[in-house]
Amino acid sequence: MATNGERRAETRERLLAAAASLFAERGVDGASVDAIAQRAQRTSGAVYDHFASKEGLLFALLDGWVVDATTAIRAELVDATTFDERLGVLWRNVCSPVAGGGQWIALEHELWSYAARNPAVRERVARRYRGAWRGLTEAVNEWSGTGGDVAPAVIGVLFGLEMIHRIDPGAMSDELAIGSLRSIVTGVPVASHA
């Protein structure tokens, strides 16, 4: 017989899986709390009990995936010795993420759109990213020997490049993506292939 803690953990996991599926299918606005609960075979009260709101569920889902992605990136960085190899690790984990069954970045894009329409959510998203930027800025500055707060630009470029790659993979080679990231950090333009 399952303990109360095990039942709560199972309910939480079911709700997260249902939300991931529905957010991917319908977007955040199109996925109601009732639909998430129904897909998870739970009640809407369970959503509120575990996450307080649909936004709380969204952030819990994404934060879990970010932890998974960060773990994967750190593990890969152990073997990366050059600046470009390290940028390649970042690029691969954004353009082909393992975290969230590959849905992580798509849901990040959805979160940005949702936050743009909801000022209260926007501030929470901004706080979330400010925390990530600090660590990334330190790492990138160490790798490159440069200084400055480059993380917002690196994240913005990474996600923009990922969007292009998602729509037309042939338009965004690994070399072009890594060169673009290097250019953002060092200020040296990407070499023309013409």
Q: Return the sign of the alpha-carbon dihedral for residues 115, 121, 125, 126.
A: positive
- For domain 61-186, give the fold: Tetracycline Repressor; domain 2 (1.10.357)
Percent of the chain with pLDDT over 70: 98
Residue spans in the chain of domains classed CATH 1.10.10.60: 1-52
pLDDT in tens, 126-181: 988 888 888 898 888 888 888 788 899 999 999 999 999 999 999 999 999 999 99
Inform me whether the pLDDT recorded for 191 exceeds 80: no
Q: Return the sign of the alpha-carbon dihedral for residues 80, 193, 109, 188.
A: positive
pLDDT at 194: 43
Q: Are 61 and 72 in contact (CB under 8 A)?
A: no
pLDDT at 106: 85
Predicted structure pTM score: 0.83
**3-state helix vs strand vs coil in the chain, percent to 5:** 80, 0, 20
**CA–CA dist 67, 79 (Å, integer):** 20
- For domain 1-52, give the fold: Arc Repressor Mutant, subunit A (1.10.10)
pLDDT at 78: 94
Closest CA to 162 of 92, 88, 111: 92
pLDDT in tens, 89-125: 999 999 988 878 778 888 888 888 889 999 989 998 9
Inform me whether the pLDDT recorded for 193 exceeds 50: no
- Cα 81 to Cα 53, 91, 134, 135, 172: the distances in Å are 43, 15, 22, 19, 24
**CA–CA dist 5, 75 (Å, integer):** 31
pLDDT at 132: 83
Residue 90 is encoded by which pair of tokens? 């970042």
Residue spans in the chain of domains classed CATH 1.10.357: 61-186
Inform me whether the pLDDT recorded for 192 exceeds 60: no
